[in-house]
Structure 1
Amino acid sequence: MTRVIDVHAHYVPQDYREALVAAGISRPDGSPVPQWSAASHLELMDELGIDTAVLSVSSPGPCFGDDAIAWAQRLNDEGARAVAEYPGRFGLLASLPMTAPEAAVKEAVRALDALWADGIILLTNVAGRYPAHPDFSELLAELNRRRAVVFLHPTAPPGYESIPNGRPAALIEYLFETTRAVVDLILSRTLERYPDIRWILPHNGSALTATADRVQLLTNFLLPVGSRPNVEKLVKGMYHEIGSSAPFPRQARTLVDMVGTQHLVFGTDTPYAPDHAVVENAHRICGGGLLRGKDLDDLLSTTALELFPRLA
């Protein structure tokens, strides 16, 4: 039977949750911080037939208050403990204190070397700085040297308070924010400067399926000849998580039509996504509602194991 690996799964340590609430961040980006435990997560995984979940910390991550460096270390240590306590059931994407770029490099090295983290999670922006910002060039160079996996997760965009009319960012802003960060990576030529970083993008293609052709068209029209990257090629070279927070079949099928089946991985967005959506999407995907045969096997585990060989 095909193994199932969830590359988009979150953990929420209780002390982190309490610290967010104490800091007045009980609803980051407009969504409540869920209760989480390894036991409850494993119970849902068993119900859905998920063998392994790659854990990461969602928005806002460690960069709240004045202790980003300490919180990054604390969160990563907590994630590493869950991985060690339940062998084979969890992987880990380490969080970084991106408000302190030099410390972010040090924590990436510590997490990958000492904690055996399987990759890194970066938010689409921290304090208005996106991953392509020059401040993060040393970090990207280190991750490129290691051929690291980087999961790019959305957070609220700068000026978010004036955009959604009081609605949660997860409603639609997350999709546009991921798209904005990816387009910035493309047009800044960051993906070409650091070609060995393996990026995973969440949420069934975000809004890239609707905007990539337009970006290519207007790039060719508005930018100088030497500044016209091949948008479609670069997007296809990234990895795309299918399954989380978007109903089937339309968006997922559009993504498959755009990028093919070679770089697809499975995700649930547990515990932030509604339980009924997680169950429904997982059953549809695993039941062949999108892909079948080898393509389905690749989506559920083969491609993830290429990205995360330790999980094998």
Structure 2
Amino acid sequence: MTDPVRIDVHQHLIPPGQRRAISGRAAVFGWPAPVWDVQSAIAMMDRRSIAAGVLSFAAPVGPPDDPGGARATARAVNEYTAELVKDRPDRFGHFAVLPLPDVDGALAEAAHALDELDADGVMVLSNAHGRYLGDPLFEPLWAELDARAAVVLIHPTAPPGAALPDLPGPLVDFPYDTTRTALHLVVNGVPRRHPRLRMILPHAGGFVPYAAHRFAGAGRLRPDTSPEEVLADLRRFYFDTAFMTGPSSLPSLLAFADPARVLYGSDFPMVPEEWGTGYDEALDNHPHWEPGQLHAVNRGNAEALLPRLARR
């Protein structure tokens, strides 16, 4: 590659206490069961020219009827991750998981993670047991995170309803759910009310870049916005490249998004390394980079968003 110092904003960890749950979740989805440990993650990063990865836990932390259990799991995962980052601050950052839809629990965990654990931001799932992120229920959380100018990774999860037979949810449904929650946030005014929020949509924003001008039609159906405002608010998001640098998806992303808001992502280990390396090559070999853009996507944009990683 031309730039050997990627910053990976979309990398996962699997704490020892969560291995069985993650393997079971993968089996339900019909997806390869991920295997993870610190040493294998660093070895993967060295092979793929990733200087630093921002770790997050990409699964629900509890069922909807056990908010206490979800709070305890989120705290345990975040403290485990913080210790890992403390041991290897040169290689890792940390997006803390929040126990939504429990807003009080999420507020408490965000404060603990950002103030006590030095997390670089927070991670939320694209829906919290069926409640999408533009729901007024979550307004206190967005207000608090806006006051902190926090970085928020919005990781996809399964949408409500049955999956299609023989089609793994992470392959088909996750981009759909990213798209759904992004538009839900916009039409409910969250990015406009909270302009200091820095929200990252993984996987090139799902279908947002490709269908944004269709989605702008939502602005014709509401008296408080316009198609132009919907498009502008969709462009407020950041987008990562994980699993989405193919010959039609990457040009669509770059045609829609501000290049300064495109970030490198691997989605390791949820996307196996042998899959991800092909997407790395496609990113590096895209034929239409403007001068400096590839460096910005691989590293520079993440440095601007997460300056602590640049100092590391």
TM-score, normalization: structure 2? 0.91
Check whether the contact 1:56–1:94 (CA below 8 A) recurs between aligned residues. Answer: yes
SS at match of 1:293: coil
The structural deviation recorded for 1:193 is: 1.3
Cα 1:218–1:122 change in 2 (3 A) is closer
Q: Does 1:194 align with 2:194?
A: yes
Matched-pair contact (CA < 8 Å) for 1:154–1:174: yes
Moved more, 125-134 or 163-172: 163-172
User: In 2 relative to 1, CA 41–289 (structure 1 residues): closer, same or farther, beyond 3 Å?
Assistant: farther
Counterpart AA for 2:184: D
C-alpha distance in structure 1 between counterparts of 2:140 and 2:117, whole Å: 21
Indicate whether 1:256 and 2:258 are aligned: no
The CA distance in 2 between the partners of 1:32 and 1:63, in whole Å, is: 22
CA distance in 2, matches of 1:306, 1:14: 32
Tell me the CA shift for residue 4 of structure 1.
1.1
Q: Which residue of 1 aligns with 2:98?
A: 96
Greater mean alpha carbon deviation, residues 278-287 or residues 103-112: 278-287
Tell me, what secondary structure is at the counterpart of 1:172?
Answer: helix
Report the Cα distance in structure 2 between the residues aligned to 1:292 and 1:2, rounded to whole angstroms: 18
Distance change in 2, residues 1:98/1:290 (3 Å): farther
Q: In the aligned structure 2, how far is the partner of 1:268 from the partner of 1:20?
A: 18
- What is the identity, as a one-letter code, of the residue corresponding to 2:204? N
Tell me by how many angstroms 1:9 deviates: 0.5
In the alignment, does 2:207 pair up with 1:207?
A: yes
Q: What runs of 5+ residues in structure 2 fail to find an aligned partner?
A: none
How do 1:299-310 and structure 2 match up within 5 A?
299-310=297-308
Task: Show the 5 A alignment for 1:1-312.
Answer: 3-19=5-21, 25=25, 27=27, 29-58=29-58, 60-64=59-63, 66=66, 67-159=69-161, 161=162, 163-220=163-220, 222-224=221-223, 226-228=224-226, 230-242=229-241, 244-287=242-285, 289=287, 291=289, 293-312=291-310
Preserved CA contact (<8 Å) 2:191 2:236: no
Preserved contact between residue 245 and residue 283 of structure 2 (Cα < 8 Å): no
In 1, are the aligned partners of 2:151 and 2:198 still within 8 Å (CA)?
yes
State the distance in 1 between where 2:248 and 2:125 align: 26
Q: List per-residue Cα deviations over 1:102-148 (Å, max 9, x = no partner).
A: 01100000000100000011100111111221221111111000000
Shift of 1:73: 0.4
CA contact (8 A) 2:98 2:106 kept: yes
Aligned-pair distance for 1:176?
0.9
CA drift at 1:81: 1.3
Residue 79 of structure 2: SS of its match in structure 1? Answer: helix
Contact 1:17 1:33 in 2 (8 A): no
Gap change, CA 1:170 and 1:232, over 3 Å in 2:
same
Does structure 1 conserve the Cα–Cα contact (< 8 Å) formed by 2:149 and 2:197? yes
Moved over 4 A (4+): 287-290
Q: How far apart, CA to CA, are the structure 1 residues paired with 2:5 and 2:32?
A: 31
Contact kept? 1:204, 1:246, Cα under 8 Å:
yes
Query: Which segment drifts farther, 97-106 or 228-237?
Result: 228-237
Alpha carbons 2:55, 2:92 under 8 Å: kept:
yes
Contact in 2 for aligned 1:29/1:156 (Cα 8 Å): no
Q: One-letter code of the match for 1:235?
A: L
What do the CA deviations read for 1:220-250 (whole angstroms, capped 9, x no partner)?
Answer: 2x332x23361221122211101x1235221
- Tell me the distance in 1 between the aligned counterparts of 2:4 and 2:50: 10
- Is the CA contact 1:285–1:291 (under 8 Å) kept in the aligned structure 2? no
Q: Tell me the distance in 2 between the aligned counterparts of 1:153 and 1:45.
A: 21
Report the CA distance between 1:259 and its aligned residue.
1.5
**CA–CA separation in structure 2 for the residues paired with 1:25 and 1:212:** 31
Q: Secondary structure at the match of 1:8?
A: strand
Q: Distance in 1 between matches of 2:185 and 2:85?
A: 31
Quick one: structure 1 residues 129 and 141, their matched pair in 2 at CA, closer, same or farther if it must change by over 3 Å? Answer: same
Q: How many residues align?
A: 304
Following superposition, the deviation at residue 286 of structure 1 comes to: 3.5
Q: Which amino acid in structure 1 is aligned with residue 273 of structure 2?
A: D
1:62 is matched by which residue type in structure 2? V
Pairwise CA distance, 1:289: 4.8
